Amino acid sequence: MTEAQFLNRLSSESGCHLLLDLHNVYTNAVNHRFDARNFLEALDLSRVLEIHVAGGTSLMDFHIDSHTGPTPEGVWELLDFVAPRAPALRGVTFEFHESSWPELRTDGVLAQLDRARAILANAHPG
């Protein structure tokens, strides 16, 4: 059973919904060299209620899901792909580690939230 099949079956049989951590999907796709969109296409996105986006770092040819810095462009592209396909989506959270505060500051955090809002507004107009 693939990870997507497992999550689909779990949410279907239990009635639970999903919190989709897109930065984690992105990190796994980079590190394990798979297509994140293919994974997301296999996932029942109607079960997704919340999405998390975050930043990360590269270390020794690996991407680390460290929640540091701004969200990578690849994660925004995944959010742009998923948002219109997730009809139950209720929110997007930008996660960041406090060690990123000197880099992000208030303006940086607000810029991340504004970008998420714009993607959601485009995906679900009105």
Average pLDDT of 51-59? Answer: 95
Compute CA 112 distance to the chain's CA centroid, rounded to the nearest angstrom: 13
Domain ranges of the chain: 3-123
pLDDT at 14: 97
Distance CA(41)–CA(8), nearest Å, equals: 12
CATH superfamily of the 3-123 domain: Divalent-metal-dependent TIM barrel enzymes (3.20.20.150)
Is residue 126 scored above 70 in pLDDT? no
Torsion sign across C-alpha atoms 63, 65, 70, 76: positive
Is residue 125 scored above 90 in pLDDT? no
